[in-house]
Amino acid sequence: MNKKELVAGIDIGGTKTALGLIDQQGKIYASTHFSTEDFPNVEDYVEELSNQIEVLFGAFKKDYSLIGIGIGAPNGNFYHGAIEHAPNLAWKGIIPLADMVSKRVNHHVLLTNDAKAAAIGEMIFGGAKGMKNFIEVTVGTGLGSGFVANGELIYGNYGLAGELGHVNVIRDGRLCSCGRKGCLEAYVSKRGMIQTYQELSNQNSNDVSPATIADLANKSDKIALKTFDETGKILGQTLADIVCITEPEAIFIFGGIALAGDLLLNPIRHYMELNLHHIYKGKVKIIPSALPDNTAAILGAAALIWNNG
Residue (104 or 166) nearer to its own copies, CB:
166
Q: CB of residue 269 vs its own copies: minimum separation in angstroms?
A: 17
- Sheet-wide strand order for 94-95: 76-77, 82-84, 94-95
Residue (9 or 142) nearer to its own copies, CB:
142
Residues in contact with its own copies by the rule CB under 8 A? 132-133, 147, 149-150, 152, 154-164, 166-168, 178-180, 237, 240-242, 244-249, 275, 277-280, 283
Counting Cα atoms < 13 Å in the Cβ hemisphere of 26 gives 19
Q: CB of residue 252 vs its own copies: minimum separation in angstroms?
A: 14
SS (H, E, C) 116-163: HHHHHHHHHHCCCCCCCCEEEEEECCCEEEEEEECCEECCCCCCCCCC
Query: What backbone torsions phi and psi does residue 285 show, to the nearest 5 degrees?
Result: -85, 140
- Please report which helix (H) or strand (E) contains residue 226, including its range: helix 222-246
Residue (48 or 273) nearer to its own copies, CB:
273
Do residues 35 and 16 make contact, with C-beta atoms less than 8 angstroms apart?
yes
Residue (41 or 158) nearer to its own copies, CB:
158
Residue (198 or 275) nearer to its own copies, CB:
275
Q: CB of residue 164 vs its own copies: minimum separation in angstroms?
A: 6
Q: CB of residue 9 vs its own copies: minimum separation in angstroms?
A: 23
Q: CB of residue 62 vs its own copies: minimum separation in angstroms?
A: 39
Residue (98 or 240) nearer to its own copies, CB:
240
Q: CB of residue 100 vs its own copies: minimum separation in angstroms?
A: 23
- DSSP, residue by residue, 31-79: EEEEESTT--SHHHHHHHHHHHHHHHHHTTTTTEEEEEEEEE-TTEETT
Burial class (CB in 10 A: 0-12, 13-18, 19+), 94: middle
